[in-house]
Amino acid sequence: MLYLTTKNLEQMNLPWHLCIDTIRRTVQVMATQEFSQPIKPYLLFDKDPSSRIIAMPAYVGGGIGMAGIKWIASFPGNHNRQLPRAHSVTILNDPGSGKPLAIINSPLISGIRTASVSGLMIQEYGKAHPFADKIIAGIVGFGPIGQLHLSMLTQLLGDRLEEIRIFDQNPDALHPIPEELRTRIRPVDSWEEAYEEADIFITCTISSSGYIDRKPKEQSLLLNVSLRDFTPAILSYTSAIVVDDWDEVCRANTDIEHMHNQRGLRREDTVSIVEVVCGNGLAKFPQEEAVMFNPMGMAAFDIAIGSLYYHEALKFGCGQELDE
């Protein structure tokens, strides 16, 4: 059984295109139903309702061929303890025998999976609604997830990415901006400045309730990664709502749950990521409307990205073999 540390994963530093392609292939497998992904149980703590540990098991068949589980803890109060908010461990199992193949210390896998899913949506959006030659991106919240999105955006869009406007309520959070990107990055003082002219806008905060209530730029892509930043008023400006999995995302106080309860948004009003990738799902929405993607985060994607890194680690001799 192979053990992979965060350092091992950082050393491998796989290109974003490879990770995004893995997510694409996973979505294609999901379209054939050759996968299994039970709804996630949430372990909650009565003394600290904002904290949770979530179990995320999945099997992905087809060309991915891996089973496993991610066990992910989110403790927003950890910032006061000088600890990261999220911790996770992923176990990969051989889908033929159930034999454990690897244990991965996986906050980075989880973040890479999240930014890769966003990258896939950017590729799909760009096919259905081509971006202008020069793209402005906005990111709100610049913790590990915001930083991984910046890295993905710059690699995926290259020189077409003209400016990235970043707002974090903690100005110190902007220190990890890589030197080579400083000319293209504009730190801004409010979410509005990051939002209003963005062709691609990404939420990566830990907000517990929606505050974004303004009209987005026409023909823009809103990646609502942190899921609790938009008010249901967004439905007054766009009907183009995409989800990864309606049953998962329409709960746990997400913006989608509020749109469902307050504005009557239904599953059939939305398009799933499988329909986007395998059924030209974005074509059904009016061209001028912003498209809003709401990903609850799918275990199948964690297992697929974990599997990609596991196989690359075997090739490069990374990681530590554990005795059985």
Ligand X SMILES: NC(=O)c1ccc[n+]([C@@H]2O[C@H](COP(=O)([O-])OP(=O)(O)OC[C@H]3O[C@@H](n4cnc5c(N)ncnc54)[C@H](O)[C@@H]3O)[C@@H](O)[C@H]2O)c1
Q: Which of 85, 87, 263, 311 binds ligand X (CB under 6 A)?
A: 85
Q: Which of 207, 231, 238, 272 binds ligand X (CB under 6 A)?
A: 207
The single residue listed with the structure tokens 């793209």 is 135
Which residues lie closer than 8 Å to 228 by C-beta, 6 or more apart?
207, 208, 209, 210, 253, 254, 255
Least distance from C-beta 30 to ligand X, angstroms? 15
- Residue 206 in the binding site for ligand X (CB under 6 A): yes
- Residue 88 in the binding site for ligand X (CB under 6 A): no
- Residue 311 in the binding site for ligand X (CB under 6 A): no
* 144-173 binders of ligand X (CB under 6 A): 144-146, 167-170, 173
- Residue 305 in the binding site for ligand X (CB under 6 A): no
Binding mask 210-249 for ligand X (x = CB under 6 A): ---------------xxx----------------------
Please name the amino acid found at residue 23. Answer: I
Which residues lie closer than 8 Å to 322 by C-beta, 6 or more apart?
1, 2, 3, 103
Report strand pairing: 320-321 vs 2-4: antiparallel
- Residue 143 in the binding site for ligand X (CB under 6 A): yes
Report the alpha-carbon distance of residue 115 to residue 153 in Å, rounded: 9
Please name the amino acid found at residue 262. Answer: Q
Q: Which stretch binds ligand X (CB under 6 A): 3-11, 89-97, 276-284, 289-297?
A: 289-297
- What single DSSP character describes residue 269? G
Which residue, 124 or 168, is less far from ligand X as judged by CB?
A: 168
Half-sphere exposure of 299 (CA within 13 A, CB side): 26
Residues making contact with ligand X (CB under 6 A): 74, 85-86, 110, 114, 140-146, 167-170, 173, 204-207, 225-227, 295-297
